[in-house]
Structure 1
Amino acid sequence: MKRLMALIPMLLVAGPAWAEPTPVKVHAISQDAKFIGDSMGGVEVVLRDAQTGKMLAKGLTVGGTGDTKKIMEAVGRSPMLTTPDAAHYSTTLDISVPTLVKVELRGPLGRPLTMQRATSERWLVPGISAGDGWVVELPGLAIEVDGVSAMIAGRAATVTAKVGLMCGCPITPGGLWDAADYEVTAELHRKGEKSERTSLAFSAAPGLFSSAITPGFSGKGELWIVARNIRTGNAGVARVPVRIAKP
């Protein structure tokens, strides 16, 4: 009996650690703007063990863009940005020890021309939630393209691009995302080389930029729409295949 009693502490130490349910909430926030959710098709979220690469969970962010004032007027090094309605992906991981977790973001899924990726790593402690959630910034601009279906070599064609933030937040004259801060260009590429380039002027709210471009070649090519915020450097590129007819 004495021998058995002496073994009990050793068995307790050697036994498996008990996993604890650990809540995880991930938010994807657009660079210069708000959270990315339902209005833009959400963002794909993958959680992995950073050391082994094993996938721990996968899902989409759902919800709204959040509180504009709280986000855009935030001050301090690590301000609390989220509200209960702000888009997020929530899950629960069962972990028994502090675990380094990697998150991979891809989106917004509703703007396939300009989807971006972002990754981040952080330690998760068993049973402890992370305050404001795990907020990861997704750079880029969401771009949709129109006016490229009927191009003819040597003839001017109007190209229109709709540019917005990754959260769907609108670009308007004098607005919170001021049209004057954005530069948008259209480029025609052939065989990997730029052929023509023109600046697109702001034409209508929200976020429409347009101008004419004259193709200098016929056949297959690509139209590139390049948009950037001239103050912050945040940029997006949409590439659309085009076939330019002979005159």
Structure 2
Amino acid sequence: MKKILTILALFITATSFATPTRLLVRVKAKDAKFIGTGIGGAYVVVRNHLSGDVLSKGVTTGASGNTDLIMLSAHQRNQRLTDAKTAGFEASIDISEPLLVDVEVTAPLSRKNAAVNGSTQLWLIPGKHIEGEGLVIELPGYILDILSPTTHAFLTLPASGSLTVDVKASLTMLCGCTITKGGTWNADDIEVVVLIKKDDKPLREQRLQYSGTANIFSSPVALTEKGAYGLSVYAYDPKTGNTGVDNINFVIQ
């Protein structure tokens, strides 16, 4: 009984000095806004660096932020780009001494084919909250989806010997922000290209053009042979280095 009381006393002593310490984590798309509820949020995990134990986990919620402020205005040092509505995840961690933590994020959560990971480390100090702008982790990339042709479609080669396939893809920023001609995220700045394979051998590549509808790029592709085809569509912005890829397969019979 005495031993149990001693252990209990040590536990109470150790935990009584633990201080709840708040860490606000935000995830921002490169050359765009914050990743929040509108695109499924970002999954956040905070770990003890030494032990690997998960201290907190959750999903960023909230809005993507003010476009004019984030994208179209000059910024000064320490200027806030966020407010109470901007997407974030707040962890509350009880610590009794400075602790090095790993912060890992995956986003966008609702678009697994486009999701990418990011991570960083920082020291948490008991009672010294990291709030306001919080800890911001930036993720590069695009959300790219091939809309046409559909996955594993079977198409018939006509008697003329030439089949026109309408290759169509949807492209958005990682935060879900729209891409349009001349817009804040300008379609003219982004190369969208389809790479075509036949029977697993490179055939050719072709540029997709902005369709006039937000986020949609397309081009007719003429194919003249039966076989198993693979399409890879990539997007690349040489100014920012943002990239995105999607792949499908279909058959011409």
Q: TM-score, normalised by structure 2?
A: 0.83
Q: Contact 1:228–1:236 (CA<8 Å) still a contact in 2? A: yes
Return the offset for 1:219.
4.8
Counterpart among 191, 198, 207 of residue 199 in structure 1 = 207
The 1-side partners of 2:97 and 2:225 are apart by: 62
**Which residue does 2:231 correspond to in 1?**
223
Counterpart among 219, 226, 242 of residue 234 in structure 1 = 242
Which amino acid is the alignment partner of residue 213 of structure 1? V
Please list every run of 5 or more consecutive structure 2 residues that lacks an aligned counterpart in the other structure.
Answer: 1-9
Return the offset for 1:103.
1.3
- Give SS of 2:208's match: strand
Query: Can you list the C-alpha shifts for 1:221-241, whole angstroms capped at 9, x where unaligned?
Result: 53211001121111111223x
Return the offset for 1:69.
2.2
Which amino acid is the alignment partner of residue 119 of structure 1? S
Counterpart among 168, 175, 183 of residue 176 in structure 2 = 168
Return the offset for 1:173.
1.3
**Which residue does 1:188 correspond to in 2?**
196
Q: Contact 1:39–1:64 (CA<8 Å) still a contact in 2? A: yes
Number of equivalenced pairs: 232
Query: Can you list the C-alpha shifts for 1:151-200, whole angstroms capped at 9, x where unaligned?
Result: 45652201111111011111111111111111101113467653331110
**Which residue does 2:22 correspond to in 1?**
23
Which amino acid is the alignment partner of residue 208 of structure 2? L
Which amino acid is the alignment partner of residue 206 of structure 2? T
After TM superposition, the structure 1 stretch with the greater mean CA deviation from structure 2, 169-178 or 152-161, is 152-161
The 1-side partners of 2:58 and 2:223 are apart by: 43
Return the offset for 1:50.
1.9
Label 1:221 to 1:79 Cα distance change in 2 as closer, same or farther (>3 A).
farther
Runs of 4+ in 1 over 6 A off after TM superposition: none
- Give SS of 1:84's match: coil
Please list every run of 5 or more consecutive structure 1 residues that lacks an aligned counterpart in the other structure.
Answer: 1-11
Where do residues 34-49 of structure 1 align in structure 2 (5 Å cutoff)?
Answer: 34-49=33-48
Where do residues 137-176 of structure 1 align in structure 2 (5 Å cutoff)?
Answer: 137-149=138-150, 150=153, 151=155, 155-176=163-184
Q: Contact 2:48–2:54 (CA<8 Å) still a contact in 1? A: yes
Q: Contact 1:215–1:244 (CA<8 Å) still a contact in 2? A: no
Identical aligned residues as a percent: 35
Which amino acid is the alignment partner of residue 88 of structure 1? G
Q: Contact 1:22–1:126 (CA<8 Å) still a contact in 2? A: yes
